[in-house]
Amino acid sequence: MELRHLRYFVKVADEGNFGRAAEALHMAQPPLSRQIKDLEDEVGVRLLDRTKRGAIPTPAGRVFLREARDILARATFAVEQARRAGKGESGELRVGHLSGPGAEVIPKAMGLFRESRPGVSLVLNELSAADMAKALAEGEIDAAFVSEPDDNGPYGGMPYAPVVRYPLLLAVSAGHRLAGEERVKWRDAAGERFWVYSKKSYPDYAGWLTGVCRERGFEPMIAGQVTSSTAMLTSVASGGGVALLLPPYACWAPPGVLLKPLTPKGPELEFGLVWSPSSAGPLLDAWIEALKRAAK
């Protein structure tokens, strides 16, 4: 059974006559009669009574007519929705993001995106770095807001659009010896113990921090591991260590945590959007544009 069979049947029922229905469908009457007979054979019941007055739906035909109209309407709606989605006017975009780096950019981008794509559902998924890579690889999300990907990392070979760059800040407790400094010298941070993310949550963080510190002439001591940004800030607030964080974390910092600029200025971290090639299209383009506008 095909949609055309349903359209033929509905037209005959509406016209009440095979001849008028055939004319409206721009086809000859004999082929139309055969199509309706094939439909009745497939359904297994007579759908139309052929009389001298025309074609009248049987009781079974009236039930079938109601359902056929519904199916055709839904099929038309599906086509319209698909076309709108193809133009970026509707649909769903699933975006993964880390808890902290997008805190300034993503809320602004969401407002801009809604203005340009009011019919689109934007689904945000806050994930750890490890879970993000897995979700993107398995198609659970369409794109991910991440730090600049390494060609040899989990996002190697995927399209990437840079969005924003952040300087590194040193997070210290209010009672810390460096809390009164307007800018913290790297050499003054050399004797501190640093909190790091666990390998399970952020596999590359500890290695990255070690590399940054070594470039500034010291080997970092580790205070302990945490699994989230909230835990990182809480651990710093306890006075048991410091952490390298980014400006967006300032809005999440609990009372008693200060984020200090470092001097000489440390490396800036770039963040942007990486996506699966199969997700490319108008929706993704609109989201990238919204992110870039929000970062200005």
- Residue ranges of domains in the chain: 3-86, 91-165+270-295, 169-266
176: number of Cβ within 10 Å: 21
Cα separation, 131 vs 136, whole angstroms: 9
The answer to whether residues 159 and 277 touch, using CB atoms and an 8 Å cutoff, is yes
Pick the CATH number of 169-266 from 3.40.50.300, 1.20.970.10, 3.40.190.10, 3.30.110.60: 3.40.190.10
Q: Do domains 91-165+270-295 and 169-266 have the same CATH topology?
A: yes
Percent helix, strand and coil across the chain, each rounded to 5?
A: 45, 25, 30
Per DSSP, the residues of 122-164 read EEEEE--HHHHHHHHHTTS-SEEEEEPPPTTSTTTTS-EEEEE
| Fold observed for domain 91-165+270-295 | D-Maltodextrin-Binding Protein; domain 2 (3.40.190)
Percentage with pLDDT > 70 across the chain: 99
Give the pLDDT band of residue 91 (cuts 50, 70, 90): confident
Cα separation, 133 vs 201, whole angstroms: 11
Query: Residue 138 phi/psi, 5° resolution?
Result: -95, 5
H helix intervals, 158-215: 205-215
Give the pLDDT band of residue 274 (cuts 50, 70, 90): very high
Query: Residue 202 phi/psi, 5° resolution?
Result: -135, 85
pTM: 0.70
- Say if domain 3-86 classifies as CATH 1.10.10.10: yes
Cα separation, 286 vs 110, whole angstroms: 11
Q: Mean pLDDT, to the nearest integer, of 55-64? A: 92
E-strand ranges in 198-241 read 221-226
State residue 81's pLDDT score: 76
Percentage with pLDDT > 90 across the chain: 75
157 compared with 99, residue with greater pLDDT = 157
Residue with tokens 């398995």: 138
Lookup: tokens for 160: 């990437």
Cα separation, 50 vs 12, whole angstroms: 11
The answer to whether residues 232 and 195 touch, using CB atoms and an 8 Å cutoff, is yes
